[in-house]
A and B are shown apart, each in its own frame.
Chain A
């Protein structure tokens, strides 16, 4: 074994990849442009939602008199009013409020992990990454419950022309209103949920690498920063999904 170790030195010339356009590294720039492309995908969903929503009649009348009907678009506080453990209690938008808080909180713990990475504080990076994974997983679990409830339906259901009652929702019919309402719910929240799931997988990889000291040896925690960008983007998308699906 030799006493001196010669480390492989990265080339730093402008045309050797040592140049950083916009003072951001290659990986970070590519993450930004990937997120930009992902914005286009979600914009397509948003456009579809806007057009379909516009094609249906809005509900006119008071919220108290509201009943589910295929004649008009349902009002969200009557569809999303359930909370785990409170069966039959009308709690409009309470569960989605909790989900929103969990996701915003996970975004905060993510920034804290990135901040700890800047200080080369391995212990703190591990701690905050674990919190982020925990909050992210809780969000996905909440969404799973929300979906299960949406698919199972209310106790009342919807009276069909043949006299039977239909409960819950699938892609072909649902008790809440027009067919496309449930379809858009599944596609938009489902696509967002898939993003959250991918984020959790990336965060777990970050956590394993941090524990193994990969980033400490590398001298920087930039990989955590890049995954952080993705994670905040997922939170950003939820802010829009929340507004257009649950509030408007």
Chain B
């Protein structure tokens, strides 16, 4: 088993528990709530269309950033771990975009052919 010396502090095992540091956590919570509220505002007060969808996707990526960076603590990991997670994800996003655009084009031509 790997050692976990960086977690266990011996003095803490003797009943002295430090005060919780939760300010940052609640800050992220407020940010997530505000971003969700903005999304709802756009859902109700803006005409549906490409522009609105782009706003939704940008806001979603912001929310994802705060969840992954702060809640999942990725921002505070080593650079190599950050890139090990982000590079495959970036390639995956590329794959999704490519599949949806190319697939739509291909689907369209097949459907038009059989019309």
Which of A42-50, A81-89, A191-199 lies on the face that meets chain B? A42-50
* Contact in complex: A243, B57 (CB < 8 Å): yes
Q: A20 interface residue, CB < 8 Å from B?
A: yes
* A146 interface contact, C-beta 8 A: no
Known contacts: A32-B85, A40-B92, A108-B26. The answer to whether A17 contacts B80 by CB under 8 A is: no
Interface residues of A (CB under 8 A from B): 10, 12, 17-26, 29, 32-33, 36, 39-40, 43, 46-47, 50-51, 54-55, 58, 75, 77, 92-93, 97, 100-101, 104-105, 107-108, 110-112, 115-116, 118-121, 124, 219-222, 228-229, 232-233, 235-236, 239-240, 243, 247-248
Residue of A nearest to B29 (CB): A108
Are A236 and B67 in touch, CB under 8 angstroms?
yes
- Give chain B's interface residue range (CB within 8 Å of chain A): 35 or more
CB pair A24 B77 closer than 8 Å: yes
User: Across the interface, do A115 and B22 meet the contact criterion of CB distance under 8 Å?
Assistant: yes
Find chain B residues with CB under 8 A from A107 CB.
67, 71
CA distance A171 to B18 in the complex (A): 54
A-B contact pairs, 27 of them (CB 8 A): A10-B2, A12-B3, A22-B81, A24-B81, A29-B81, A32-B84, A47-B99, A47-B100, A50-B99, A55-B107, A58-B48, A77-B44, A92-B44, A101-B33, A104-B32, A104-B36, A105-B29, A107-B67, A108-B25, A119-B18, A120-B12, A124-B20, A220-B8, A228-B71, A239-B60, A243-B60, A248-B53
Are B33 and A104 within 8 A (Cβ)?
A: yes
B51 interfacial contact with A, CB 8 Å: no
Q: Is the interface of B mostly helix, strand, loop or mixed?
A: helix
A219 B40 Cβ-Cβ under 8 A: no
- Residue of A12, A22, A33, A248 near B56 (CB, 8 A) is A248
CB atoms of B77 and A121 under 8 A apart: no
Q: Closest chain A residue to B104 by CB distance?
A: A54
Question: Which of A51, A77, A219 is B99 in contact with, Cβ under 8 Å?
Answer: A51
Can you name 20 extra interface pairs (CB under 8 A) apart from A17-B1, A51-B99?
A19-B2, A21-B80, A32-B81, A33-B84, A47-B99, A47-B103, A50-B100, A55-B107, A93-B40, A97-B36, A105-B29, A108-B25, A118-B7, A120-B8, A120-B13, A121-B17, A221-B7, A235-B67, A235-B71, A236-B64
The listed residue (B12, B56, B96) touching A46 by CB distance below 8 A is B96
For B1, what are the chain A residues with a Cβ–Cβ distance below 8 Å? 10, 17
CA distance A39 to B29 in the complex (A): 23
In the complex, are the beta carbons of A55 and B8 less than 8 A apart? no
Which of B29, B53, B71, B104 touches A51 (beta carbons < 8 Å)? B104
Q: Which residues of B does A touch, CB under 8 Å? A: 1-4, 7-9, 12-13, 17-18, 20-22, 25-26, 28-29, 32-33, 36, 39-40, 42-44, 48, 53, 56-57, 59-60, 63-64, 67-68, 70-72, 77-78, 80-81, 84-85, 88-89, 92, 95-96, 99-100, 103-104, 107, 111
Known contacts: A12-B3, A239-B60. The answer to whether A47 contacts B40 by CB under 8 A is: no
Report A216 CB to chain B, min CB distance, Å.
8
Report A3 CB to chain B, min CB distance, Å: 21
